[in-house]
Chains A and B, each alone.
Chain A
Amino acid sequence: MTTPKHFLMLPNYFLADLPPEATLSPAMITAACEALRRNREKYLAPRKLEDIVQLLCEVAGGWLEPDNKYRRLALDSFRSAGLPAQLAGDPLAPAGAAPGAPGPGFSAATVARGLDDFFRRFTPENFQALLAQDLGDAAAATRVAVAEPSGHPPQAARHFWHGPQLLVHVAAGNIPNPALMSLTLGLLTRSAQFMKCASGASLLPRLFAHSLYEADHKLGACLELAEWRGGNEAVEAAVFAGADCVTATGSDAVLAAIRARVPSHVRFLGYGQRVSFGYVAREALSDEAVAELVARLADDVVAWDQNGCLSPHVIYVEERGAVESDRFAQLLAVELMNREAAEPRGPISMEESAAIASRRSIYETLAVHRGDVKIWQSQNSTAWTVVFEHEGRFHFSPLNRFIFVKPVPDLAAVFPGVDELKGKISTVAVAARPERLKDVAAQLARWGVTRICPPGQMQNPPLTWRHDGRPALGDLVTWTDFEFEPQINTDDHR
């Protein structure tokens, strides 16, 4: 076990920084929540939104620098000897995590790419677009220079908004970006925040929180992160009791369990299980364009090793393109093989590995008997797998770079196969010429898909992304409608 030296320079600041032997008590949590509320009142509530945006952009800019302390810590911890950080006896191993608790293991290259994609979105323009989209002209009144979306002059704005005083997040552990985004949104609503990290997955949220704390101690004083194995009812009750709003990400069962324990006056925002797929129209399968298309879809499979809700399980490919669907699958396999050299898949658990091996052996067997089933796979590892089959039904991938390619005659043929997943599909990456793209998107939207994006962008939604079709920032705030006689001077509102 080696301790990265630069980590020792980090202060022991958050509950998640405590050594593993420390146990959290409800009283500690209640005290932390009270401190958070006080700090928010003093340091965050009066803060100008534009200053918060600026700070976020500066911190994000730091994370994009190769020598940034936090970035290096993040990458180093994933670099250890081909084992997930917490299994390799990493010094950042989470407090209170059960030994061998499943946690994300990614290669440093995968983490680097994921962090770059994420933090590059942090620009003043992108934040302004988000504020304008979710808060409209009220955001303009906060003096962030946004366009006037509604045409109202600022002095005619008729609403006030405020965020939760204490916002509690129950974060999932599959990939880190959603937790980072949750913290970001909470800062924009000037909320004190308490994040319960998934066991084995607190590292990146902690590093992000430390980077904010370093940039602005007062703002950092409005954040708390802790890690425990979900289901610690006494501790969780203390957190929920202190909250004005709780967000939770996880399986439907986990969300239902949390929802039942959040007091009824507390707003609950649950982000449940979703799956995603790709759709390739035949005109996108030209000889000239196919290499670029394959590279982009490989980006989607490789990003966070396919572990997010926005990662594709299946790519539907229209038949009779210049490049046939099985050839496309083969090209994708070659691309995944090449990616493995540059950006290897992270270590996975025995269960995940066994799930891939089991799935492979079925398709290997079927491939011998059926001309319409083909499989390409890495040798002596489960690093990547492409299965091609003429079975339109959506199949869940065992993930970790295992992708199904399914030929279909047209988009209409996709819908029966995903029917059982209505309301559970998040993202569809569509490759089509502009003239057809709009029509395909309209059909997908009508069916109930909540996000349509270009290939290569599945795991990289913009800040304005409406999570599961809901405004992620807008859902946090509470409005005060202000109806006034025209002669009243409203210049002074915030």
Chain B
Amino acid sequence: MAENQPVNKHRMNKALSSFAARLRLAMARQAHHLDFDVLALQLYALQFQLNPAYGKICAARGLTPGTVEDWTQIPFVPAKAFKELEFSSIPPDERTAVFHSSGTLEQKPSRHFHCAESLALYEASLWPWFAANCRLPLAAPGCAEPGCQLLILAPPPEQAPHSSLVHMFETVRQNLGAAGWRSGRSVFCGRLESHGAWGLDFESVLALLKPDLPSPIPLPQLILGTAFSFVHLLDFLAENQLRLKLPRGSRVMETGGYKNRSRFLPKAELHALITQQLGVGRENILCEYGMSELSSQAYESDVQAPGSRLQPRAFRFPPWARGQIISPETGREVADGETGLIRIFDLANVYSVAAIQTEDLGIRRGDGFELIGRAQRAEPRGCSLMTA
């Protein structure tokens, strides 16, 4: 579509590249002092100009870079609109990857387009915040040398090229390797089933979690997966009456969302089962909140931002992204402790749109949020079909 062509390819590349480079630098420095407000307005000015589908929406709302004074006024787009429109500043011939929203039932997935530079930014954004929240490096007890064995409950990248989550897991795998830690075999233990859903290769999982010849000082395990993959794993262990006790210091990261791929377990129940069947305590279970339309993730963990007062467990974004909880009735941010829709401003979304409105409900908790989940009517009031 002509309207999706950037106005000036070269100028775009230059301006966005320079912004992306500055941001990556800040991320690498774990910049807690980064001037979010200034960067947000700068990025908005670029996206208004260089992302035609987005610029049109901003203009229609009468919110141009000249009139917006504060990052909270920057026009958002609904994540779901990525299904309908191409929100990208990357010219079609320079797009090297596209991430789709997950869910086997989706006829028309969201499309978040990427190029080498935007992927580099995605990777630069995800790693430090993951590492901080996971309290890396891990090390075997009494062992000074860091090391862990990574187990990924998802298909490998070649089987899931459009999954932003798998790309993230692969980035974590590569970064762990690059850190030169002592490591076991790091394996993607998921596989793509014939109907497109994600399954698990239980044999490989067991080979890693329950080796025939346990080493005297076993490496801590780092297990990454979706909530439904953990349900598959836990169900398998239960069916086979297996109860594991992973080495001390092991970590589990689960990313919410079931998408009807397994039975649904409330979070507390899932975590209790992980503790019971894998021997990983609550303090070592990490929850991630992310989506294909974003480049940064929020984590719920015991990690606190440096210098901040002790906060309750809540999902928090890295310093280069911010979440807001918005009242669906008024469109304004709710007060602390109140419920609303989660809106995210992600500076790392340089080449798409930084301000994303989700359909997830959350409760505002200090500088983070408690996740309630997708806004849907659990049991429709009465007898209407509310499947759409």
Q: Mark B320-342, 1 if CB is under 8 A from A, else 0.
A: 00000000111100000001110
A424 touches B381 (CB 8 A): no
CB of A472 closer than 8 Å to a CB of B: no
B56 touches A369 (CB 8 A): yes
Known: A358-B375, A369-B56. A250 touches B383 (CB 8 A): yes
Closest to B59 in A: A368
Which chain B positions have C-beta within 8 A of A399?
381, 384
Known: A357-B341, A366-B81. A380 touches B329 (CB 8 A): yes
CB of A381 closer than 8 Å to a CB of B: yes
CB of B94 closer than 8 Å to a CB of A: no
CB of B195 closer than 8 Å to a CB of A: no
**CB of A369 to closest CB in B, whole Å:** 6
Which chain B positions have C-beta within 8 A of A172?
382-383
Report which B residues bind A (CB closer than 8 A).
Answer: 53, 56-57, 60, 76-78, 80-81, 84-85, 328-331, 339-341, 357, 359, 361, 375-388
CB of A286 closer than 8 Å to a CB of B: no
A355 touches B376 (CB 8 A): yes
Which chain B positions have C-beta within 8 A of A398?
377, 386
The majority secondary structure among interface residues of chain B is: loop
CB of A232 closer than 8 Å to a CB of B: no
A102 touches B381 (CB 8 A): yes
**Separation of A433 and B243 alpha carbons in the complex (Å):** 72
A354 touches B359 (CB 8 A): yes
From 274 to 311 in chain A, residues with beta carbon under 8 angstroms from any chain B beta carbon are 274-275, 307-309, 311
Which chain B positions have C-beta within 8 A of A353?
328-329
A174 touches B383 (CB 8 A): yes
A309 touches B383 (CB 8 A): yes
A424 touches B329 (CB 8 A): no
Which chain A positions have C-beta within 8 A of B359?
354, 358
Known: A354-B328, A368-B60. A362 touches B384 (CB 8 A): no
From 356 to 380 in chain A, residues with beta carbon under 8 angstroms from any chain B beta carbon are 356-358, 361-362, 365-366, 368-369, 380
Which chain B positions have C-beta within 8 A of A357?
328-329, 331, 341, 375
CB of A173 closer than 8 Å to a CB of B: yes
**Separation of A381 and B331 alpha carbons in the complex (Å):** 8
Closest to A383 in B: B329
B382 touches A308 (CB 8 A): yes
Closest to A175 in B: B382
**Separation of A421 and B77 alpha carbons in the complex (Å):** 31
CB of A249 closer than 8 Å to a CB of B: yes
Candidate in B85, B328, B357, B386 with the most chain A CB atoms within 10 angstroms: B328
Which chain A positions have C-beta within 8 A of B330?
380-381
**Separation of A382 and B375 alpha carbons in the complex (Å):** 15
Which chain B positions have C-beta within 8 A of A356?
328
Closest to A424 in B: B385
**Separation of A349 and B328 alpha carbons in the complex (Å):** 11
**Separation of A275 and B56 alpha carbons in the complex (Å):** 36
B377 touches A358 (CB 8 A): no
Which chain A positions have C-beta within 8 A of B383?
172, 174, 249-251, 271-274, 308-309
CB of A481 closer than 8 Å to a CB of B: no
**CB of A362 to closest CB in B, whole Å:** 5
Count how many pairs of residues, one from A and one from B, have CB atoms less than 8 Å apart in the complex.
122
Closest to A352 in B: B377
10 pairs of A and B residues whose beta carbons are closest in the complex? A174-B382, A354-B375, A357-B328, A396-B388, A353-B328, A368-B60, A361-B78, A174-B381, A358-B359, A365-B81
**Separation of A365 and B331 alpha carbons in the complex (Å):** 15
CB of A351 closer than 8 Å to a CB of B: yes
**Separation of A250 and B379 alpha carbons in the complex (Å):** 10
Which chain B positions have C-beta within 8 A of A275?
384-385
Known: A308-B382, A365-B57. A351 touches B388 (CB 8 A): no
A396 touches B357 (CB 8 A): no
Which chain A positions have C-beta within 8 A of B56?
368-369
Which chain A positions have C-beta within 8 A of B378?
351
**CB of A343 to closest CB in B, whole Å:** 19
Candidate in B339, B340, B375 with the most chain A CB atoms within 10 angstroms: B375
**Separation of A309 and B384 alpha carbons in the complex (Å):** 6
Which chain B positions have C-beta within 8 A of A186?
none
B341 touches A396 (CB 8 A): no
15 more A-B contacts (CB under 8 A) besides A174-B384, A362-B81, A421-B385? Answer: A104-B381, A249-B383, A272-B383, A350-B340, A354-B340, A358-B357, A361-B76, A362-B78, A365-B85, A369-B53, A369-B56, A369-B57, A380-B329, A380-B331, A396-B387
**Separation of A361 and B61 alpha carbons in the complex (Å):** 12
**Separation of A398 and B359 alpha carbons in the complex (Å):** 13
CB of A395 closer than 8 Å to a CB of B: yes
Q: Mark A399-429, 1 if CB is under 8 A from B, else 0.
A: 1000000000000000000000100100000
**Separation of A369 and B388 alpha carbons in the complex (Å):** 23
**Separation of A380 and B330 alpha carbons in the complex (Å):** 4
**Separation of A175 and B380 alpha carbons in the complex (Å):** 12
**Separation of A11 and B9 alpha carbons in the complex (Å):** 79
A351 touches B361 (CB 8 A): yes
Known: A272-B383, A309-B383, A395-B388. A362 touches B377 (CB 8 A): no
Which chain A positions have C-beta within 8 A of B77?
365
Which chain A positions have C-beta within 8 A of B379?
102, 251
Closest to A380 in B: B330
Which chain B positions have C-beta within 8 A of A365?
57, 77-78, 81, 84-85
Known: A350-B328, A351-B361, A358-B359. A309 touches B382 (CB 8 A): yes
B385 touches A307 (CB 8 A): no
Candidate in A104, A355, A365, A381 with the most chain B CB atoms within 10 angstroms: A365
**CB of B354 to closest CB in A, whole Å:** 15
Q: Mark A84-120, 1 if CB is under 8 A from B, else 0.
A: 0000000000000000001010000000000000000
**Separation of A274 and B359 alpha carbons in the complex (Å):** 26
B384 touches A396 (CB 8 A): yes
